[in-house]
Amino acid sequence: MESIGLSKGETKVYLALIHLGETKTGLLAKEARVSSSKVYKILDRLIMKGLVGSTVKGKTKYFTATNPEAITNYMEEKKKEITTQIQQVQKLVPILQSEQQQAKQRSQATLYEGFQAIANFYRNILQELKSGDEYYVIGAGYPEGKPEIRAFFYSYHHERAKRNIKVNILMNYEVRGNEEVTTRINSNIRFLPQYFITNMTIVFYKNKALFFFLTEQPTAFLLESKEAADSLKSYFNVLWKIAKK
């Protein structure tokens, strides 16, 4: 009985009524081994489920279990109720999925220190983008006295080109003619005007944008926001028009 949705107390009272037949609450509570204070509440629930009926004789109320066939009717009602709940859940699931997706798209900002974090971001680009995809860079350049950083970008762009991932780069003016040769493979490169030189680099794609400074102690700021990435794309397009090949 408990497996079809009755509580332990309801099961004890119902089976006691089956055994006793028509009875008063005092004997029923004793037979079912439930307190007198609880038996009325349990009977009310069983009546609501159609499993118990009552009659009044004189001034005394008697209870009896309905025909056990009522259990089948009870199960049919539960089946209808469950079917309705499933239909409601099916309508609710897309709403919850949409809310979950919006939560993922909300801005998340993280601050990083050290070039390793920047290098890991570039490596993630190779993992997250597919062949034929592209990403964007504003303010690309190389720090002086850091040959290991140039070596990283040489290897990185070699792997990027091998994976057929395209990059659109707005490089700083002073880098012209001094960029790593692998950077020019499968890429569009233009150079910002000399008055536009910046030591900040912005790399963005999909819903991610990394702002970083290749200073003595490199720092980076990762913003996960599709709106921010879309805004940067508009900014990039404006700069692209004034940049030189």
Domain boundaries, the chain: 2-70, 105-242
Please indicate, yes or no, whether the overall pTM of this predicted structure exceeds 0.85: no
Three-class SS of residue 241?
helix
Asked whether residue 109 carries a pLDDT value surpassing 80, the answer given is: no
Report how far Cα 114 is from the mean position of its chain's Cα atoms: 29
Distant-in-sequence, close-in-space partners of 208: CB < 8 Å, separation ≥ 6 = 222, 223, 224, 229
pLDDT of 117 reads 92
CATH architecture of the domain 105-242 equals 2-Layer Sandwich (3.30)
Give residue 99's pLDDT.
74
Task: Indicate if the pLDDT at residue 220 is higher than 90.
Answer: yes
Residues 175, 150: contact at Cβ < 8 Å? no
What is the three-class DSSP state of 169? strand
Can 2-70 and 105-242 be said to share one CATH topology? no
Which pLDDT band holds residue 153 (cuts at 50, 70, 90)?
very high
For residue range 114-134, list pLDDT tens digits in order: 999 999 999 999 999 999 999
Would you say the C-alpha torsion 231, 237, 240, 242 has a positive or negative sign?
negative
CATH level 2 (architecture), domain 2-70: Orthogonal Bundle (1.10)
End-to-end alpha carbon distance in the chain: 80
Cβ–Cβ under 8 Å, residues 122 and 149: no
Which has more pLDDT, 216 or 191?
Answer: 191
Average model confidence (pLDDT) across the chain: 87
Any residues with CB less than 8 A from the CB of 86 and at least 6 apart, and which? Answer: none
Around Cβ 146, how many Cβ atoms within 10 Å? 14
Q: What is the pLDDT of residue 125?
A: 95
pLDDT tens digit string along 179-210? Answer: 889 999 999 999 998 877 778 899 999 989 99
Please report, rounded to a whole number, the percentage of residues in the chain having pLDDT higher than 90: 37
Tokens read off for 146: 């850091």
Contact 17, 28 (CB under 8 A): yes
CA distance linking residue 155 with residue 182, whole number of Å: 8
pLDDT in tens, 82-92: 888 888 888 88
| Chain centre to alpha carbon of residue 117 | 24
